[in-house]
Structure 1
């Protein structure tokens, strides 16, 4: 059961980390676009990403990592516990960033309709949404760190000697 939880956590965190990495990699390209184009692209992406597959990875990573931590609490699982806890902390940080920054920005975009000035993207010093770009990178880094911790937890669980 422990290895299943670790594998599920690794896979779902990897999927979500990949999505966050994609956002972090692509959003800087919007810096050269005009405000209306940025609003339209981000509105469409934000609508498209809200689906069952995204939810499965997004929530599944948190739940399965939490389950992996709980399953490794007994003394015979303590070897894996630091890596599993590290993954949970990093992934929770990515969720906090999403909730505190990315979701409000997405909501502002959704409410902007055809008025990009209401989103903050029309400001001369922030044409491509530098704040969004920064926080997409934070989410990508935190979720990638969580993925690394989970990979290490699997190595520790399987008692594989890294070479």
Structure 2
């Protein structure tokens, strides 16, 4: 049983961290550039709907599961004396914690403000609402993308470390 845990946890860590990074990457290279080419009301309404749709069990498993499993990977590597692997996994975990901090400090409050602005079709000044949301949200999402991609790299290096 222990052998299975030592085999499954690192692989699951890579998979979940990959999905975690892929989510932010997709927003950076496709979702936000695509929405950037739309009108103000369309962009606002789409993001409001995305903010509701993303809160689902699959997202929760990845968003919470990746750091939890990466913590498990770090601890498992330490427990068996694989210190190099533990350091890589721990560095990946730190990067994911950074992503979570940015998410809750910057992106979620912007999402909440956007949602609180009201229905896009009824906004008096949708351009101002968009301007207060999009540039900062996108900039910080790029940081989340880079940090989570770095976490994926560290997680993979932890699996391959001797």
The separation in 2 between residues aligned to 1:117 and 1:56, in whole angstroms, is: 38
2:63 equivalent among 50, 58, 82: 58
**Correspondence for 1:99:** 104
**Correspondence for 1:27:** 32
The separation in 2 between residues aligned to 1:80 and 1:131, in whole angstroms, is: 35
Deviations 1:105-129 (A, max 9, x none): 11112112225568xx623993871
Deviations 1:7-61 (A, max 9, x none): 1111111111111111112213333433211110101111111100000011000
The separation in 2 between residues aligned to 1:117 and 1:132, in whole angstroms, is: 22
Q: TM-score, normalised by structure 2?
A: 0.86
Q: Is the 8 A contact 1:24 1:137 kept in 2?
A: yes
**Structure ranking higher in helix proportion:** 2
Q: TM-score, normalised by structure 1?
A: 0.85
Unaligned runs of 5+ in 2: none
Q: Is the 8 A contact 1:31 1:128 kept in 2?
A: no
**Correspondence for 1:79:** 84
Q: Is the 8 A contact 2:98 2:147 kept in 1?
A: yes
Aligned pairs (5 A) from 1:1-163: 1-25=5-29, 26-74=31-79, 76-114=81-119, 116=123, 122-123=127-128, 126=131, 129-156=134-161, 159=162
